[in-house]
Amino acid sequence: MAKYKIAWMPGDGVGNDVMEAAKIVLDAMKFDAEYVPADIGWEFWCKEGDPLPERTIQTLKGTDCALFGAITSKPRDEANDELAPELKDKGLVYFSPIVKLRQLFNLHTNLRPCKAFPGNPLNYRDDVDLVVFRENTEGMYGGVEWFPLPEKVYTAMCDNPKMVKWKDKGLENVALSTRIMSSQGCESIVTQAFEYAKTHSRKSVTLVEKPNVLRETGGLITRVAREVAKKYDIPLWEANIDAICMWMIKNPQNYDVLVAENMFGDIISDLCAGLVGGLGFASAANIGDDYAVFEPTHGSAPKYDGMYKVNPMAMLLTVKLMFDWLNEDDLASRLEAAVAKVIKEHKVGTYDVGLSNTTLEVAQEVARHV
Ligand code: IPM
Ligand code: MG
């Protein structure tokens, strides 16, 4: 029997291309695992009306963790248009299966390292080494939203004097997406950011928020972060989401570990990825108490589907995060060193770095160095 059981979820679009690349490297490293395929993504929405079928959830429950490629997400009306004719107008509503997975498995922490590898011509600067801790189940993406508003919610909200602007518009004309945060959720994500900073000798933790406007939720996470910070010898800096988008472009080397609620973490992690070569280099781990799903930050890039054009480094660095989580430290450092070497040599690479190799050729080159 293999040491690990890994759920294998390529998803859609270039998810397949990059997962094939991952397999080349995993095999070259003789990683002792059984890979269990699991259905997820657009195809299953169109065919079955469910992008995350129940059988997939059951499959995942029987594995140690999951590797995931990418999925396509489309807005409500477009999603409805692409449903199989017999499923149309049955009230099925598309949801992002990765967001649902994060919630179902309580994968509360989204870890997104963004490091400038020497020799990457796309580095904004060579001294960027950031790690984003994004809260992954609450906040603006907690999924509590309505359109149209149920009467009860509308009436309750009308108690707030600020509702005066929306009161007379009629409940069928108002949409509401909430930003819902708990003390526990805030404490957990901030604590993990500090623990990481401590064990990795990082110099600071920056909370990315907007508490001067989002007074209740922003206020809560700020208070919690200040409390948590007291237990550590590492400074807590506080930055507003808008200001930090400017400062990170001016002085990214001043930042280190960043922590944020779900949507701000989503935004800031794309910005950080941009500083180190773009989404082709951005890895991510969705981590819960006893399960984790590893996925590159990039999406499914449907226009490149099956063309083996996209950069597999994000996926390979994601595999490295899986090794870290499994405490396979030797595999993790060998893989990262191989990725670093291929980037530095700059002989084999995909179009985004100015070379012309395929996704799989880059993976083979990494495999040669592991
Ligand atoms: C990400 C993506 C997803 C998210 C989308 C595809 C739902 O942007 O992982 O950053 O917002 O979490
Ligand atoms: Mg994103």
Residue nearest atom 10 in ligand 1 by C-alpha distance: 266
CA distance 179 to 289: 23
- DSSP code at position 302: G
Mean pLDDT computed over 185-209:
98
User: What homologous superfamily is domain 1-110+284-370 in, according to CATH?
Assistant: Isopropylmalate Dehydrogenase (3.40.718.10)
Q: Do strands 285-287 and 257-260 pair parallel, antiparallel, or not at all (unpaired)? A: unpaired
HSE of 45, CA atoms in CB hemisphere, 13 A? 23
Cis peptide before 51 (omega within 30 of 0): no
pLDDT at position 73, please?
Answer: 85
CA distance 108 to 89: 34
Residue nearest atom 11 in ligand 1 by C-alpha distance: 266
pLDDT at position 77, please?
Answer: 87
Pocket lining: 12 vs ligand 1, CB cutoff 6 Å:
no
Which of 97-106, 109-118, 133-142, 161-170 is the least confident region?
161-170
Element spanning 239, H or E? strand 236-240
8 A C-beta contact, residue 94 and residue 351: no
Q: Mean pLDDT for the chain?
A: 96
Pocket lining: 262 vs ligand 1, CB cutoff 6 Å:
no
Mean pLDDT computed over 69-87:
91
Pocket lining: 73 vs ligand 1, CB cutoff 6 Å:
yes
Mean pLDDT computed over 56-79:
94
- Residue 26 pLDDT exceeds 90: yes
pTM above 0.85, yes or no: yes
Give tens-digit pLDDT for 222-276: 999 999 999 999 999 999 999 999 999 999 999 999 999 999 999 999 999 999 9
Mean pLDDT computed over 200-210:
98
Indicate which atom in ligand 1 lies nearest the CA of residue 262.
Answer: 12
- Residue 74 pLDDT exceeds 90: no
> Looking at per-residue confidence, does 167 or 16 come out higher?
16
In which band, very low, low, confident or very high, does the pLDDT at 170 lie, cut at 50, 70 and 90?
confident
8 A C-beta contact, residue 242 and residue 210: yes
HSE of 51, CA atoms in CB hemisphere, 13 A? 24
How large is the angle between the packed helices 241-250 and 262-275, nearest 10 degrees?
Answer: 10
- Residue 89 pLDDT exceeds 90: no
- Buried b / exposed e along 29-65 (16+ C-beta atoms within 10 A): bebebebeebbbbbebbeeebbbbbeebeebbeebbb
Q: Which fold has domain 124-142+178-275?
A: Rossmann fold (3.40.50)
- Compute, in angstroms, the gap from residue 32 CA to the centroid of ligand 2: 31
- Residue 76 pLDDT exceeds 90: no
- Compute, in angstroms, the gap from residue 69 CA to the centroid of ligand 2: 14
- Compute, in angstroms, the gap from residue 176 CA to the centroid of ligand 2: 21
Write out the residue limits of the CATH 3.40.50 domain(s) in the chain.
124-142+178-275
pLDDT at position 171, please?
Answer: 84
- Compute, in angstroms, the gap from residue 285 CA to the centroid of ligand 1: 12
Residue nearest atom 8 in ligand 1 by C-alpha distance: 266
Write out the residue limits of the CATH 3.40.718.10 domain(s) in the chain.
1-110+284-370
